[in-house]
A and B are shown apart, each in its own frame.
Chain A
Amino acid sequence: MAKTTKLTLSEWDTLHNNGPFPLKILYKTKLESPALMSSDLDRYNDAAQEIQSLITEAKNKNEGFRAYGSAWSMSKIAHQKDRMHFNAHMNTYFSFRNQDLHALSSYKAENLFLFQCGNVVKEISEKLAGHGKSLKASGASNGQTIAGCISTGVHGSGINVGSVQDYVVGLNLIIGPNPGDIVYLERDSKPALNNVFVQKLRSRVIRNDGLFNAALVGLGSFGFIHGVVIEAQNLFLLKRYVKELKKDKAIELAQKQNFKDFDGIPEEVKSNGEANLPYHFKVFVNQYKDNGKYVVEFMYKKPYKLNYPDPFPIIKKSLYRDLINLVVGIGAAVPASIPVFINLLKNSILPKVDEVSIGTLAETFWDAPYQGPAFAISFGVSHTNGEKALKILSKVSIDEGPVPGIFAMRFIKKSDATLSFARFPITCMIEIDGVLWNEKKKLGTLNGLSKKMIEALQNAAIPFTMHWGKNADWKFSGLVNHMYGADAKTWRKYRCSLLSDDMQKLFSNAFLKEVKLDKKEPSDPQLIQSLL
Chain B
Amino acid sequence: MNLKKYLLPFVLLLFLVLLLFQSCYSVRLASTSGTPNPAAPMVRDDYYRAVEVTELDTVITIGVENKDFTYLIKVTDLCPTGKLHTVEYKNTFGALLLSAVTFGRKRKVKIKYVCMKE
Contacts and interface: CB of A to CB of B under 8 A. Distances in A.
Interface of A: 7, 9, 12-13, 15, 17, 26, 28, 30, 70-71, 86, 88-89, 91, 120, 122-123, 126, 143, 312, 363, 366, 369-370, 372
Interface of B is mostly: loop
Contact of A71 (B32, B34, B35, B42): B42
A15 B50 contact: yes
A370 B40 contact: no
B9 interface: no
A28 B40 CA distance: 8
A15 B42 contact: yes
Given A89-B118, A91-B117, A370-B50, A12 B34 contact: no
B74 interface: no
Given A120-B35, A122-B35, A26 B47 contact: no
B41 A9 contact: yes
28 contacts: A7-B41, A9-B41, A12-B41, A15-B42, A15-B49, A26-B40, A26-B41, A70-B50, A71-B40, A71-B42, A88-B38, A88-B40, A88-B117, A89-B38, A89-B117, A91-B117, A120-B38, A122-B35, A123-B35, A123-B117, A126-B33, A126-B35, A143-B50, A363-B32, A369-B47, A370-B47, A370-B48, A372-B45
Contacts of A91: 117-118
A143 B118 CA distance: 15
B9 to A, nearest CB: 32
A12 B42 CA distance: 8
A366 to B, nearest CB: 8
A369 B47 CA distance: 7
A13 B39 CA distance: 12
Contacts of A143: 50
Given A13-B41, A88-B40, A143-B50, 13 more contacts: A7-B41, A12-B41, A17-B45, A26-B40, A28-B40, A86-B41, A88-B117, A91-B117, A120-B35, A126-B33, A126-B35, A370-B47, A370-B49
Contacts of B32: 312, 363, 366
Q: Which of A26, A123, A366, A370 has the most CB of B within 10 A?
A: A370
Contacts of A123: 35, 117
Contacts of A86: 40-41
A30 B35 CA distance: 16
Interface string B33-65: 111001011100111111000000000000000
B49 to A, nearest CB: 4
A22 to B, nearest CB: 13
Contacts of A7: 41
A369 B117 CA distance: 16
Contact of B38 (A17, A70, A369): A70
Nearest to A72: B50
Contacts of B42: 13, 15, 71
Nearest to A68: B40
A17 B42 CA distance: 10
B49 A126 contact: no
Contacts of A363: 32
A363 B117 CA distance: 19
B34 A126 contact: yes
B39 to A, nearest CB: 9
Q: Which 3 A/B pairs are nearest by Cβ-Cβ distance? A: A86-B40, A370-B49, A123-B35
A26 B118 CA distance: 20
A372 B46 CA distance: 7
A473 B47 CA distance: 29
